[in-house]
Amino acid sequence: MTLLLVGSDSPVANMEEKKSSSDLWRGPAPVKEMLRDDCYTDFLCDDFDVKTYTSQSIHQAVIAEQLAKLAQGISQLDKELHLQVVARHEDLLAQATGMESLEGVLQMMQTRIGALQSAIDRIRTKIVDPYNKIVSRTAQLAPVVEEPCLYRMST
C-alpha cells in the first residue's frame, strides 16, 4: 500500500506502509501517535475488510467508543491536511497552474489530431474512390479481354 502525503523535502513524498506500529507514518508527531492506536492500524492493512471490522465492532459492543475515536482521528487528519496545505500553498498553486497549462496543451493537441484525422479522411476519399472505379472497370473489362483470348485458343 502506498500513500501519497505532503513531505518536507518535496511537494509529495511517498510513504510505504510498515507493519510495525512504531513506523506507520513518517509525519508530524500527533498524527504518528494517532496511527499507533490499534483502532487505526486496521485501516492501514492491505487486507482490510469493512464487513469484518463492522461485525467485530458489533460483537465487542464498542461501537460508540470506536466511532468517537474515528471521529477524533478524522478531525486530527483534517487539521493536519489543512496545516500541510497552508505550508505548501505556493507549491500547490504552482502545480495547479502547471496542470492548467498542460490542459491547454492537451486541448490544442486534440484539435490538431482532429484536423489531421479530417485531412486523412479527405485523402482517403481521393484515393479510395478512384481505386474503386478502377477495380469496377477492370471487372467490367475482364470478360471482354478474355473473350478474344478464348477465341484464339479455340482456333
pLDDT at 26: 52
Residue 153 lies in a domain: no
pLDDT digits (tens, 9 = 90+) for 63-74: 888 888 889 889
Residue 131 lies in a domain: no
pLDDT digits (tens, 9 = 90+) for 29-57: 667 777 777 777 777 788 888 898 888 87
Residue 11 lies in a domain: yes
Residue 134 lies in a domain: no
pLDDT at 115 over 80: yes
In degrees rounded to 5, what are phi and psi of residue 128? -70, -45
Counted domains in the chain: 1
Residue 32 lies in a domain: yes
Pairing between strand 2-5 and 13-16?
antiparallel
Burial of 53-75, coded b for 16+ CB within 10 Å and e otherwise, reads eeeebeeeeeeeebeebeeebee
Domain, as residue range, for 66: 2-87
Residue 116 lies in a domain: no
Residue 8 lies in a domain: yes
Distance, CA of 96 to CA of 85 (rounded, Å): 13
Distance, CA of 85 to CA of 79 (rounded, Å): 10
Mean pLDDT of the chain: 78
pLDDT digits (tens, 9 = 90+) for 3-37: 344 444 433 333 333 334 344 445 566 677 777 77
